[in-house]
Structure 1
Amino acid sequence: KRTNVYIDGFNLYYGAQKSFPDCKWLNLLLLCRNLLPGNDIQVIKYFTARVKALPSDLDAPKRQDTYFRALSTVPEIEIHEGFFQTKKRMMPVVMPEEQETPSFQGKRKFKEVWDTKEKGSDVNLATHLIADAFMDKFDVGVVISNDSDLVRPIHFARKLAKKRIGVFKTQGNRGREIMKFASFSKTITRQDLLNAQFQNPLTDPKTGREIHKPLSWN
């Protein structure tokens, strides 16, 4: 069966890879082939965004760029980038210090914070899934995400385009709703991730240069 895979990159990262640092050097094609051994995987569309350096983690963009370079060595993988939107917002403090004093009197304290949200990935994923389904670019589509916002696109691809749509989610309670709307489903385990790691170092076939896994991912 012709199979396309649509991956919510940050959902996969925060749902699985972040919890297991030794699983971050993930070969998405190998993961999908292991999970779908009888399928002909045509393309893997990976939806993500470029992270920005934070005072607490200045090297995050460098590590992400290294991983993107590793993914780019696999012809079947397409990287589709959204963006981060950062703005100032007034947010309530969970436990203000004044709450411990008589003068607080039940008042709620707010502080100005930087609010950073990733934009575009879920919309881009949904758009590609539906467009590819109606253009008959696959027989089976697989969505790797826990995001319940993808329920309707999955429903449309199944019921209107008459495609089989699977949902693979990470471990935990999130994602149970989206699995109800799938033709088939699976929970990705830590062992699944461990079984699908890139070699280290990895050789870029285009340049011949070695790509080394970030040290903090060992």
Structure 2
Amino acid sequence: MASTCITAASKARLTNGSTLPHFVRDCCANNEITRIRYFTALLTPRPIDPQQRTRQEIYLRALRTLPNLTIDFGHFLASKQWMMRTDRSEMVQVLKSEEKGSDVNLASRILIDSYTSKCDIAVVISNDSDLVFPIEHVKRFLGKIVGIVSPHPRPSRELQAVASFFKSIRPSVLGTCQFPDKLTDALGDFHKPPAW
């Protein structure tokens, strides 16, 4: 039985209460899932959604109840930029937030886990074409199998081209992969919020 590592980027937009292993169970049914890595950055609440960070923290706590799961954190970088309004009438100053570090951490982890033989098969949940090089590298030089599970309605053609196998996450599947309403960890019981 081959060992499988699941690597997911937060940009995969799985923060709707879905559990990560469910997305790859079909394509890895005959393999043991040995490790799940989730890459994200802590959100800064915005005035339009002050509970955003609280929901994220509950989701991360729920993820930590899964066996063999680790969470690697990047950070958000906020900067003021001038951008054109959507109606193209004028330039306005906006606060732009970008997640930094998560993609690099994910790419590095694919390489490290492959070189240290921590898994035979890697399943990457992402649609980021910046991951093409590390995926191509571990396939070509280390003979690893790397599958892509895309959370995006328009999957990256570049990722599809280098993947050993490819799956898209169908919206209908998300409803069947939810955490239960009540979860328990070392701190006690906690509940899924009404909306993630």
Output the TM-score relative to the length of structure 1: 0.84
SS, match of residue 77 in structure 2: strand
Match of 2:65 in 1: 73
**Structure 1 alignment gaps of length 5 or more:** 19-23, 98-108
Structure 2 distance, partners of 1:30, 1:73, is: 14
Identical-residue share of aligned pairs (%): 35
> Would the aligned equivalents of 1:29 and 1:74 in 2 still touch at CA under 8 Å?
no
Cα distance in 2, alignment partners of residues 54 and 199 from structure 1? 28
The one of 180, 192, 195 aligned to 1:213: 192
Q: Displacement, 1:92?
A: 2.6
Cα distance between partner residues in 1 of 2:184 and 2:120: 33
The answer to whether the 8 A contact 1:69-1:211 is kept is: no
In terms of fraction of residues, the more strand-rich structure is 2
Q: Which has the higher helix share?
A: 1
**Bigger mean CA deviation after superposition, 79-88 or 164-173:** 164-173
What residue number does 1:62 align with? 54
Structure 2 gaps of 5+ residues are: none
Amino acid corresponding to residue 194 of structure 2 in structure 1: L
Query: In 2 relative to 1, CA 96–144 (structure 1 residues): closer, same or farther, beyond 3 Å?
Result: closer
Q: Residues 151, 210 of structure 1: CA spacing in aligned structure 2 closer, same or farther, 3 A cutoff?
A: same
Please tell me the root mean square deviation across aligned C-alpha atoms, in Å. 1.6
Distance 1:169 1:48 in 2: 16
Superposed counterparts of 1:135-150, under 5 Å: 135-150=116-131
Residue number among 84, 93, 97 corresponding to 1:116 in the alignment: 97
Corresponding residue of 2:134: 153
Whether the aligned pair in 2 keeps the contact of 1:4 and 1:43 (CA below 8 Å) is yes
Structure 1 residue aligned with 2:87? 95
1:97-127 CA deviation, whole Å, 9 max, x = no partner?
A: 4xxxxxxxxxxx4222111101111110000
Q: How far, CA to CA, are the matches of 2:159 and 2:125 in structure 1?
A: 11
Other structure's SS at 1:123 match: helix
Provide the secondary structure at the position in 2 that maps to 1:66: helix
Say if 2:5 and 2:35, in contact at 8 Å, map to a contact too.
yes
Shift of 1:35: 4.3
Indicate the residue corresponding to 1:52 in structure 2.
44
Deviations, residues 40-86 of structure 1 (Å, cap 9, x unaligned): 11101100010111010000000000111111111211111100000
User: Separation in 1 of the partners of 2:98 and 2:164?
Assistant: 31
The number of aligned residues is: 195
Give 1:86's aligned residue. 78
1:42 corresponds to which residue?
34
> In structure 1, what is the equivalent of residue 6 of structure 2?
5
AA matched with 1:84: F
User: CA 1:180/1:86 → structure 2, altered by over 3 Å: closer, same or farther?
Assistant: same
The alpha carbon displacement at 1:171 in A equals 4.5
Find the structure with the greater CA-based Rg.
Answer: 1
Structure 1 pair 96–167 and aligned structure 2 pair: CA distance change class (3 A): closer
Q: Is 2:23 the counterpart of 1:31?
A: yes
Whichever residue aligns with residue 133 of structure 2, its letter is R
- The whole-number CA distance in structure 2 between the counterparts of 1:167 and 1:8 is 12
Please say if residues 85 and 116 of structure 1, whose CA atoms lie closer than 8 Å, have aligned partners that are also in contact. Answer: yes
